Structure 1
Amino acid sequence: MFTKEQQIYYKEITEACVGSEEQKRTEAIASLTTETGLHQILPRLVLFISEGVKINLMQYNLAILIYLMRMTSALLENKSLYCEKYLHQLFPAIMSCILAKQHCVRPDTENHWALRDYAASRCAQMVKMFSANIHGLRNRIVRIFLSTFRSERLPLVTHYGALVGLCEMGQETIEELVFPIIRPLGDRVIKSLENTSLSPIDKITIDRINGVISKYIPIAYRTSRSSPDDLEHFKHEFGSFYGHRLHTHVIQLRQQSRSGSSQPTHNRQFSPSSASNSRPSKILSGQASPSSHHQNPGSLTPSRSPVRPMNPSSSKHHSQSSTASLTPANSHENVIL
């Protein structure tokens, strides 16, 4: 049973987090990030996120999905909370936001890419946070992402989400698992481009996939492989579609690196020229959130502390590994795995 104070706080915080007033949302997220008395209502907050994702996926409510992912991030960043025992609810919600076929009414114009990118970064964060205590966590998440590439019936937007999800997990994952899927992914892209009835959303998705590959793969390749860079080797490893462009990007990176070493006062960064207009959006701290049919989702990084603060709970919590399924819930009808 919750105290009256906890009941009031829960009602106020959840209403503010998904409400239309940006200032209240910002303050509510700040409270979830810093409040030290949330242990007893944490299960309810997690359930609110999990059920909220299911409902708003079915209703194509992009803005609310973004707000729910912010709530998830805030709980993870709250150092006083122990979220490991709730991963069986949080991971399916996050994976659904990454891989869902559709998040919004107008996927060709609304920025659901930012939601996929942000959820993918939260997924990678959780894998890093909890892999030491949960055996095989990384492998389970990776298997879900890789399984999407084995099915051509899945839409390209799902492949995009899986690709970002893998790339966000870092250099080792990119080198070990993403390099081998670039060639077959390129073959899928070629087949799609040859289709005269290619939909507008698929055209946009291909540009987005190209942007992700241009952003992550050349840097990972330069880090793991030494020069010289042979064009035919790139074509053999990455296929005809991506081999040539990746070869060009890696050459540019190495040249920039040599130029940067001779001019130490300049901090040079790689920016894939061929994907400058298609680079996937990323919700980062301090940036404005994507536009949607709801009001402006607002800044990700809360600045003030809010709603009615609670006194720290005296209840104790015990370590407990989650062994339940981490795949998107079956009731997320928008997700096919």
Structure 2
Amino acid sequence: MASNLDLDGIDADISADSIRAVADSLGISRLDDSALRALAEDVSFRLKQIVQESSKFARHSKRRKVTTDDFDRALQQFNLEPIYGFKSGEFMPFRGAIGGGREVHFLDDKEIELSDVISTPLPRLPSDLSLRAHWLAVEGVQPAIPENPPPVSVEKLKEESVNRPQNLKPSSRGVPPSLLSALGLTGTAVGTTTTTTKGAKETSEKDAKADAKKGEKQKKEDELLEEKFKEYVAHEMSGEQQLYYREITAACLASGDTRKTSEALQSLSLDPGLNQMLPKFTEFICEGIKQYVIQKKLTSLVALVKMIKALLSNKNLNLEKYIHKLLPAVLSTVVGKQLCARPDENHWSLRELGAQALAQICKSFTTTSTALQSRVTKLLSKILADDSSSLPQRYGAMVGLCELGTDVCKNVLLPQLPHEGELLRKAQNSNSEPEKTMSITIQKLLQNHLGPIIVTLQGPPDVPDVYRAEYGFLGPNLCNYVSTKLRAAHTKTQQRLQLQKKAGICNWQTSLSEQVKQEKQKHAPSQQPQPKQPTATATQPKSNPLPSLPPPPPRTNTSPSKPTVPLSTINISDLN
């Protein structure tokens, strides 16, 4: 079939003679001209494809020349084995030769003497790769081994970071001592260069001028280094931002104008362009809380905590970089020992505001790596475990745990209830009126937050002695709270069931009247004249009798003295 092909018009870049030469080298001699020409056409097509793909690789690599690597990648693109032994990073010139009417291109290989190759010493074998483990630190101490860097004492680090300008020489001020030691300049004056000749008492004027020029040059270099290693960079704000900052801070701390304060807090919670001013606001809040806690200014502390809550509620701000400053300030307002000048001031509201801000921080910035909420919970639990903590501190720790959620209250605060009850009993039996007032406030807090949890956990019977044995001094009050909540929930459930029953009776009566009306209309006589019959004997046909009415629902005794609804039908939502 190949002999019948008309291949005269095929333009092949690879000649049939080249195909015949390759076939002869492989031991194939019986190939006619048509097969050779068909193979030449196919080989030319495949080569054009590969060259085209390799040129694409070169073009995507921003190169104009096609390399052997591009050709190998093109072969791999067509799932072909790459050609080995022709990889070179340099240009390989081909030389041409003409002989016997044919042109041949070849590489000009250099002739190498075999004796030189044999006499050449073998290169050194490379060492095997190996891994060796060493300790970076053992129980916080760095081992003195060559693999570890030389240890630097904490005092030296503090000296370099805090008191850097005082401990440096005038010629090297602004440059850390560690950098000077790395440059080999420790103990030498960088800016002084003197040239002395043996046996000469005075330097020449020429040398003095040269030294002066070198000193000026070195002084300029020292000034450049001092600018380069400047510790603090001033945070600049535009004039509008400075005006906004002054107005907002003044409005938030203004105790007389409530409308202006609310507008300022609303701006902090909604304005999306405050990211550049966050460092200033954070510094203002943290320094203000530190100062007002010492001065015991309750009103200013409340205003600053409200500013923190406003910034936390702004969804356009990223406060993650400033949490390490805000969290200690918020904790100071929650568990501070004394936040007001007089004990009769309402510092409880400040602690509650701080607890809400603390819970918001834990909710927004707790991750698996930081474990912020668990660390805050441990800190508040330590305050409760310390008997030397004052009652206001314990109140702040309790309200902070309550704001963190029901699970924290149930797992942390509820087991601590007998111990807290004993402390409250001692405070109420004391002769100090402020302590009695504080203990009553803490008792109300525990009752309001732990009572609903105990309602769901504690089973019947609700006996004060049982509650006292389990919860200590606060047991009878909690028992009274649980009983009151259960009675209120029972009353709500009973009223709801009565309303449902009344609605069911009304619906039954309405449907019954409609059904009777429909039956009357269905069996009413037609309008055609019919013979008159006596009224006494006029009855409905027996074939279509009226349907029997369903019996009314049974009535139940709904007197309040004898409840008919069991406690198991009470919903949990009614307890609130």
Identify the TM-score tier after normalising by the shorter chain. Answer: 0.7 to 0.9
Residue deviations 1:164-213 (CA, integer Å, cap 9, x gap)? 111122211111111111110111122233334x3x32121101001101
TM-score by length of 1: 0.74
Partner Cα separation in structure 2 for residue 230 and residue 131 of structure 1: 41
Looking at structure 2, the residues matched to 6 and 134 of structure 1 have their Cα atoms a distance apart, in angstroms, of: 35
Which amino acid letter does the alignment assign opposite residue 205 of structure 1? Answer: M
- Which residue pairs with 1:26 in the alignment? 262
More moved, 125-134 vs 157-166: 125-134
Is 1:223 matched up with 2:456? yes
- Partner Cα distance (1:50, 1:97) in 2: 11
- Hey, what does 2:489 align to over in structure 1? 257
Aligned length: 265
- CA change 1:236–1:114 in 2 (3 A) is same
Identity of matched residues, %: 34
Q: Which amino acid aligns with 1:171?
A: T
Gaps of 5+ in 2: 1-235, 500-572
- 1:220-299, aligned counterparts within 5 Å? 220-239=453-472, 241-264=473-496
In the other structure, the counterpart of 1:289 is none
TM-score (norm 2): 0.44
Amino acid across the alignment from 1:92: P
Superposition deviation, residue 17 in structure 1: 1.1
How far did residue 236 of structure 1 move?
2.6
For residues 119-198 of structure 1, what are the structure 2 equivalents within 5 Å? 119-132=354-367, 135-196=370-431, 198=432
Offset at 1:141? Answer: 0.8
Q: 1:117 Cα shift? A: 1.2
Work out the CA distance in 1 between the residues paired with 2:284 and 2:470: 45
1-side partners of 2:380 and 2:339: how far apart? 18
The answer (yes or no) to whether the contact 2:282–2:322 under 8 Å persists in 1 is: yes
- The residue aligned with 2:323 is 87
- The whole-number CA distance in structure 1 between the counterparts of 2:313 and 2:457 is 31
User: C-alpha separation between the residues in 2 aligned to 1:115 and 1:237?
Assistant: 32
3-state SS in 2 of match to 1:149: helix
Q: 1:56 aligned to 2:292?
A: yes
How far is 1:14 from its partner? 1.1
What is the Cα deviation at residue 132 of structure 1?
A: 3.6
In the alignment, the residues of structure 2 paired with residue 99 and residue 118 of structure 1 have an alpha-carbon distance, to the nearest angstrom, of 12
Alpha-carbon contact 2:486-2:575 (below 8 Å) kept: no
State the distance in 2 between where 1:43 and 1:227 align: 56
Q: 1:268, CA displacement in angstroms? A: 6.3
Distance in structure 2 (CA, Å) of the matches to 1:219 and 1:74: 30
Q: CA contact under 8 A between 1:157 and 1:202: conserved in structure 2?
A: no
Higher relative CO (Cα under 8 Å, sequence separation at least 6) belongs to 1
Shift of 1:225: 4.2
Q: What is the alpha-carbon distance in structure 2 between the residues aligned to residue 269 and residue 172 of structure 1?
A: 19
Paired residue type of 1:172: D
Selected match of 2:348 from 82, 90, 113: 113
1:103 to 336, 339, 342: 339
- Report the AA paired with residue 357 of structure 2: R
The CA deviation at 1:133 is 6.1
Q: Deviation of residue 261 (structure 1)?
A: 2.3
- 8 Å CA contact 1:218–1:253 kept in 2: the answer is no
Q: Is the 8 A contact 1:29 1:70 kept in 2?
A: yes
Match of 2:434 in 1: 201
